[in-house]
């Protein structure tokens, strides 16, 4: 099982002096699902945005399969075809049909023909159970359907690692289950992925490894069993606060 991603001593300080990420390091192996949990403002999403070069870290190194990817010479468009990202706000093009939202990157970044791109799009839409909405516009889809299309779009590029940034936080509770089930299926297929999530029960059940962030640092890291048996006071306190509002006990958002 080879190493896919290495993050070494990552720092991110925003304008105004907010030190959002404070020297974190971790690695992700081939086929591994890693969940990053923590309270709002702990730096979770910032880490993903640094990995995908949506923002430039102020310190540290990021490697994809041994190649450093946070340098001025990195081809960012090529990088984003290798590291897929699914956003909490979907980021679909409202004026394009579902099919065209997926083929756009295949044709313009990967240089595929219209027919090959459409074949690939149909294949990934089938994986996320969205073939019946191929001709729909995003405005005519539910939030859960939009997110499954966004996942299909990322999958179509055949990324080496897939990043999920709070993929269910913008969804109504009754729509969360279908999206989590789609992500669970990808984990079962062996997709290498990092999932930033507040769905603690899902993280416990699906992730191979949990990273708990607090105030910009990794406060605890370990197998998914740390959800039931936290080793640090910080993680115990975080999980107990979730137990109080039922977030841990909720069955995958359904």
Is residue 51, in this structure, part of any structural domain at all?
A: yes
| pLDDT in the model for residue 175 | 81
Residue-level pLDDT, tens digit, the chain, 254 residues: 689 999 999 999 998 888 999 999 999 999 999 999 999 889 999 999 999 999 999 999 999 999 999 999 999 988 988 999 998 888 899 999 999 999 998 998 889 999 999 999 999 999 999 999 999 999 999 999 999 999 999 999 999 999 999 988 888 888 888 889 999 999 999 999 999 999 898 999 899 999 999 999 999 999 999 999 999 999 999 999 887 655 544 444 33
Residue at 250 is within a domain: no
Q: Is residue 253 a part of any domain in this protein?
A: no
CA atoms within 13 A on the CB side of 148: 26
Establish if 59 belongs to a structural domain.
yes
pLDDT at 246: 53
| Closest by Cα among 206, 189, 243 to 36 | 206
pLDDT score recorded for residue 207: 94
On whether residue 82 sits in a domain, the answer given is: yes
Question: Long-range contacts of range 214-218, CB-CB < 8 Å, 24 or more positions apart?
Answer: 214/38, 214/39, 214/42, 214/238, 215/22, 215/42, 215/43, 216/19, 216/20, 216/21, 216/22, 216/24, 216/42, 216/43, 217/22, 217/23, 217/24, 217/43, 218/24, 218/25, 218/26
- pLDDT confidence of residue 5: 97
Q: Residue 252: inside a domain, yes or no?
A: no
The reply to whether 180 falls in a domain is yes
Considering its fold, how many domains does the chain have in total?
Answer: 1
Q: Which CATH number does the domain housing residue 69 bear?
A: 3.40.50.300
The answer to whether 114 and 106 have CB atoms below 8 angstroms apart is no
Residue 251 in domain: no
Beta bridge partners of 64: 5, 67
**Tokens found for residue 60:** 């540290």
- In this predicted structure, what is the pLDDT of residue 235? 95
- Domain containing residue 31: 3-245
């Amino acid at each position: 099982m080879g190493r896919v991603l290495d993050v070494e001593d990552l720092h991110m300080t925003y304008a105004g002096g907010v030190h959002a990420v404070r020297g974190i390091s971790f690695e992700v192996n081939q086929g591994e699902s890693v969940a990053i949990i923590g309270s709002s403002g702990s730096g979770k999403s910032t880490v993903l945005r640094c990995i995908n070069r949506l923002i430039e870290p102020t310190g540290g190194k990021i490697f994809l399969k041994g190649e450093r990817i946070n340098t001025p010479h990195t081809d960012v468009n090529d990088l984003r075809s290798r590291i897929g990202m699914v956003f909490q706000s979907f980021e679909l093009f409202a004026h394009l049909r579902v099919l065209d939202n997926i083929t756009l990157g295949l044709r313009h970044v990967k240089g595929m023909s219209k027919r090959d791109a459409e074949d690939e799009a149909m294949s990934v839409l089938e994986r996320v159970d969205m073939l019946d909405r191929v001709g729909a516009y995003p405005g005519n889809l539910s939030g859960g359907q939009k997110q499954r299309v966004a996942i299909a779009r990322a999958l179509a590029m055949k990324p080496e690692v897939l990043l999920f940034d709070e993929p269910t936080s913008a969804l109504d509770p009754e729509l969360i289950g279908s999206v989590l089930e789609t992500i669970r299926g990808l984990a079962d297929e062996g997709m290498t992925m990092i999932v930033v999530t507040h769905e603690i029960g899902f993280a416990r059940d699906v992730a191979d490894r949990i990273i708990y962030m607090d105030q910009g640092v990794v406060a605890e890291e370990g197998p998914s069993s740390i959800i039931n048996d936290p080793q640090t006071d910080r993680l115990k306190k975080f999980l107990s606060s979730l137990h109080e509002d039922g977030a841990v006990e909720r069955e995958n958002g359904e």
